[in-house]
Amino acid sequence: MAEEFVFGWHAVEAVLKKEPDRLRQVWIQQGRQDRRVKQVTETLDRLGVTWQVVHRRELDERVAGAHQGVVAQVEESREWTEDDLFTMLAGRSEPPLLLILDGVTDPHNLGACMRTADAAGVAAVIVPKDKSATLNPTARKVACGAAETVPFVRVTNLARCLRSLQEHGVWLIGTAGEAGGTLYQADFSGPVGLVMGAEGKGLRRLTREHCDLLVKIPMQGLVDSLNVSVATGVCLYEAVRQRQQS
């Protein structure tokens, strides 16, 4: 099975807590002797996972990014399929909140969206297989463990997946700067898929046409748009607000 690297304390601890069987080896930067390191190494010993204390240079050579002094080699995580997604939705007793990202290519933005999705109780994050960032080590680091808790579904044909979601009763709300109504006029209380567009370009035409409703975030200043991860946070927490009141 293919292997990958996970780095950063939140990300490594999330694997340790949620999917310890994936861990193969852990490297920790020399000089760290705090309680966090002690707890992690004790757990690794209990699980029989090999760990080493190494010079920072070795960690820098293994991964590109702010590793915070810890890098783990893990089995590649299993990717969710559309079948997995619809099986999960069929088994839910409460209306799902889904996040659909149309062509978000920056792994930092993907990781930030995953982190917010976890905090907002999103049931799954859906992306197209083409022209979209993957959950690489950078995205996992930014996600701070959310990549190990929120199902990540890559679909071959996003438009077809959107149609299937609609057939399963999911209301699709997309964001577009030229929309007539605002985010705060939309109803997020039922089964909802929030559809967010790519950095700069927004939603693709076909994706936009499959949305049941288009809304915009009111902009009061001089800038005309928000970073996709920031906009996702604004929209998801409006959904959280409404769903807590319903």
| pLDDT band at residue 181 using 50, 70 and 90 as cut-offs | very high
What pLDDT is stored for residue 232 in this prediction? 97
Give the pTM: 0.84
The residue-averaged pLDDT of 69-90 equals 90
Higher-confidence residue: 122 or 135?
122
What pLDDT is stored for residue 246 in this prediction? 66
CATH topology of domain 82-245: Alpha/beta knot (3.40.1280)
| pLDDT band at residue 3 using 50, 70 and 90 as cut-offs | confident
Annotated binding site: 197, 217, 226
Q: What is the mean pLDDT of the chain?
A: 92
Q: What is the pLDDT of residues 151-178, one digit of tens each?
A: 999 999 999 999 999 999 999 999 998 8
What is the domain partition of the chain in residue ranges?
3-75, 82-245
Q: Is the pLDDT of residue 45 over 60?
A: yes
CB-based contact 141:166 (threshold 8 Å) = no
Q: What is the pLDDT of residues 100-134, one digit of tens each?
A: 999 999 999 999 999 999 999 999 999 999 989 99
Q: What is the pLDDT of residues 206-228, one digit of tens each?
A: 999 999 999 999 988 888 778 99
How far is it, in rounded angstroms, from Cα 26 to Cα 157?
A: 37
Annotated binding site for S-adenosyl-L-methionine: 197, 217, 226
CB-based contact 126:81 (threshold 8 Å) = no
What pLDDT is stored for residue 54 in this prediction? 94
Cα–Cα nearest to 15, from 70, 83, 92, 57 = 70
CATH topology of domain 3-75: 60s Ribosomal Protein L30; Chain: A; (3.30.1330)
